[in-house]
Amino acid sequence: MSIDLKKVLKNKAINEWRLFWLISIPMSIVIAIATMNTDLSTGEGVSHMIGYSVRWAIPFIYLVVAASSVQILFPGPFPMWWMRNRKYIGLCFAVAMAWQGMFIFVVSTFLRDYYFKDIYYFRDELEGSIGYIFLAAMVVTSFRFGRKYFDPMQWKLVHKGGIYFLWAYPFSVYWWNLSYATPRPLDYIFYYGGFLAFALRIAAWGKKRKQAAKKKSPESSTPLALKTLGGAMIVFGLIASAIGMHWQKPISAFLTGKPWSAELELWLPFWPFEPFLALFIIGLGTMLVTKHRAQVETKIEAVRLTD
């Protein structure tokens, strides 16, 4: 007997709001039990719950980031189901983040000495607050009543910006954990999970670029030199992503060497972007690998015509 996956994945129990409740209710029960077993009268206890609740949230933001790319790279019933339910997966992320937000509220309101001595750091505060502003805007505009205040362009800006920002936050936390602390197994899982989610986006972007070029001129191809250089950059980026602990110190020292850069590091979220460098190199490599000769020739032709 063969199972019709397409049919199974259309089952109402695992779609849209029911999927949301199916995930968020058990998750909230588990977080509530952990809360009851934690001493919330101490800063350490609340801080533990801040970390605990956000660890529930992270897989969901990674799943949201990867959804459209998986559908482009591996079209099929399961990626389609994933993509269709992206909004509800995002709302599960928001539920876990609401728990984290509540613990942050508790520590910053009732345990102020601990908060300012052990937690408060201006740049982190700024990053975290921007994250929560994006999250709130994304949740509100996920519903018709909130969406009507935004035009499609603004909506896209809030959601794209928010998804990238809320992915970048945990991804960079775990990159730093691998780079200068003694990593826990979970740090590896969440770092590579975030890396994979974004790398899939780059790959999907490359695939679409290639398809668009082929459609425009079926004869076009990528020059060998670009292919080789791009391929080398992708391999280099992949290696760099795995050995951040070996280059973090000198690269950070170099990038923050100038006084203006050291100043920016105090308040500008993520500056100078060390966790993202490897992905940036992979993105550039993908751009070269998918740069078709016909595009280059068209540009040359256009320049000739305007001369």
Stretch that binds ligand HEM, among 45-53, 71-79, 155-163, 260-268 (CB under 6 A): 45-53
Residue number with CB closer to ligand HEM (90 or 131):
131
Residue 54 lies near ligand HEM (rule: CB under 6 A): yes
Binds ligand HEM (CB under 6 A): choice among 45, 79, 90, 170: 170
Neighbours of 154 (CB within 10 A): 13
Q: Residue 37: exposed, middle, or buried by beta-carbon count in 10 A (0-12, 13-18, 19+)? A: exposed
Residue 53 lies near ligand HEM (rule: CB under 6 A): no
Q: For 266, which DSSP code?
A: T
Token couple for 230: 């791009």
Alpha-carbon separation of residue 164 from 37, 141, 252, 270, 305 (angstroms): 34, 16, 22, 12, 40
Neighbours of 18 (CB within 10 A): 13
Residue 50 lies near ligand HEM (rule: CB under 6 A): yes
Residue 166 lies near ligand HEM (rule: CB under 6 A): yes
Residues 105-134, mask of contacts with ligand HEM (x by CB under 6 A):
--------------x-----x--xx-xx--
158-184 burial, b at 16+ Cβ within 10 Å, e below that, comes to bbeebbebbbbbbbbbbbbbbbeeeee
Binds ligand HEM (CB under 6 A): choice among 65, 72, 104, 197: 104
Binds ligand HEM (CB under 6 A): choice among 9, 15, 55, 217: 55
Residues of this chain that bind ligand HEM (CB under 6 A): 47-48, 50-51, 54-55, 57, 104, 119, 125, 128-129, 131-132, 166, 169-170, 173
